[in-house]
Chain A
């Protein structure tokens, strides 16, 4: 490990005098520990990087490269030390969404949208501007990343390298001054890897912009202005790539990782702190960097985030477009929409049976009265069961449709949602956009169920009053399943949770079997199906069908207004839970 007097003075003075403020990015003894692990994920990382700079973070697998990047971005909270950006402590004031560009390893583009559409929606979520301005930003991003010719190509058919470019382009829409790229060259062929690396190097030439690339590859070292080597969460080296092989006393970069494995990470870290290796930055470069910061500081912060409703609207229209291009999902929705009401109507396709009444007079003999009572009981049993059953059947099928609407709405695209939140998307706006889209489905499903079954089975009662409990139960189950989706970590878990939610609706509603009273008091407030069933049956109150249902059910029927109120609360509760679930951080 080489040493120069100037390097010792420079670094020691730098660290000891706390002279981080003129650096774009400065990490001071940053640590990340978690209680379940003995060794820290990051231990005492001290690093300073200027603007107009392209740095690589390298190291063997599991050394903390991506962890470091996520800590800088704020995705992972560091447990010790300080991270400063342009002199300010990020724990006191975080990076603005426009300052940060974070390109994760996974693709954050929607495969069913074209390159241009992905960029357009990403831009609309992150910046204000009219259609013309948005298109200019899209065009510029495409030009910077060499995607202009792929503008109309769907993201789902792009190659790995093209997808990485698209990920980069989406971040460039806000012209960030800190661009973090996490393993964006991993898994690519050597040519694509070189193209992406050269592209990043070019992007770093913008004054004041710092680009950090996490990579395990040690090719193309000549492209980097600095290399940061991590091992076991510790900093082993952070300086010019030209010093790398001599510092590690190897003959080629490929031998660095085996050399790292020969000693403990703590020993490498200790050596780096005490070793006076040259940082590799000339004073003239620092002055230029400082000047560029003063010039570009305003520019990076000048683009405000779109408003809440603008973001919600963008999310809604993007969701609508995705739905229209997802043939499987659209076909499934249509199938459920048509089949479910038909299945209900099959049970009474000839209409509801007429009701024979008992003789009201008291002058019939006892035997006749008993015969009438028996006949009425049998009729009550059949017709009452039919009417009650049809009502509950519609409710359960609408609940199933509701769960299908939203069970995978959040969890299916969680990674993209987290990425967009990091870029400035408000969780409430995302929820509003999702809710607006789901509301459309709810409206169509409940309206069609009400109208179709009513028309075929000739259900009496007020149409509007019958539509309301159906719409609300569909909406309530949709929102509760949306909440489940926002709190689970996989589509399978979300689907299972939604299935249980719908599955318990029927037995706990009391519509088929009356629950013991104490249990009914406990469970009924929570069962949306009960309130929808009650509310629907109340619309038949002026008919004999209501009497027959009352004759066969021991479960008390709730009033219309109360039923609608409770269903609205279920809907509100689901939306509140969904908001909290969307708001929480869930990076994977």
Chain B
């Protein structure tokens, strides 16, 4: 056994400590990234499928991410309709998204990027159920 003044740390302790730190970092990153993704279990919408035949997707819920491009119209009863520019593959796709009347407090501006959970409603529009800035 080494004298008290000359004890050293074993390589096992070194590598073990480093491995623990890396594991905690990676594990924590995974947990926080996955955990902070509210839409992780929601399928991503394929713009091409939607634009080809929106009716076939009626009632389905998807996740979507894009930039607010312009306002297409508004109505106190139906809500506000926006054009959302979304990227899929290597193309940009414009999609209509409907913000229900219940979201009056949200001040959408051109150029803002959002992630949203949308439902294809009966009329074929993408109705926003949840949204968060990305």
Contacts and interface: CB of A to CB of B under 8 A. Distances in A.
Interface stretch (B54-62, B85-93, B110-118, B121-129): B110-118
A421 B5 contact: yes
Interface of A: 73-77, 90-92, 94-95, 97, 357-362, 376, 418, 421-422, 525, 541-542, 544, 546-547, 550-551, 559, 561-562, 565-566, 569, 572-573, 576, 580, 583-585, 587
Interface of B: 1-9, 14, 17, 21, 24-25, 28-29, 32-33, 35-36, 68, 70-72, 82-83, 108-113, 133
B4 A360 contact: no
11 contacts: A75-B6, A76-B6, A90-B3, A95-B4, A358-B111, A376-B111, A546-B133, A547-B111, A550-B113, A562-B32, A585-B8
Given A92-B1, A544-B109, A547-B111, A74 B25 contact: no
A559 B36 contact: yes
A431 B44 CA distance: 50
A547 B25 contact: no
Contact of A569 (B7, B8, B25, B113): B25
Contacts of A546: 133
A357 B110 contact: yes
B9 A360 contact: no
B3 A576 contact: no
B36 A94 contact: no
A580 B35 CA distance: 34
A360 B32 contact: no
A554 B125 CA distance: 32
B6 A559 contact: no
Given A362-B71, A525-B25, A569-B21, A75 B110 contact: no
A475 to B, nearest CB: 16
Minimum-distance CB pairs A-B, first 5: A74-B3, A562-B32, A358-B110, A360-B71, A362-B70
Contact of B1 (A75, A91, A585): A91
Given A91-B3, A585-B8, A587-B5, 17 more contacts: A76-B6, A77-B2, A92-B1, A97-B4, A358-B110, A360-B82, A360-B108, A362-B72, A362-B83, A422-B5, A544-B109, A546-B133, A547-B111, A547-B113, A562-B33, A569-B21, A569-B24
Nearest to B68: A360
Contacts of B4: 74, 94-95, 97, 422
Given A77-B2, A362-B70, A584-B8, A562 B113 contact: no
B9 A565 contact: no
Contacts of A361: 70-71
A282 to B, nearest CB: 33
Contacts of A76: 6
Contacts of A541: 133
A77 B6 contact: yes
Contacts of A360: 68, 70-71, 82, 108-110
A418 B29 CA distance: 39
A174 to B, nearest CB: 15
Contact of A583 (B9, B21, B35, B108): B9
A544 B112 CA distance: 8
Nearest to A564: B32
A421 B4 CA distance: 9
Nearest to A102: B5
A541 B132 CA distance: 9
A565 B32 contact: yes
A421 B7 CA distance: 12
A559 B5 contact: no
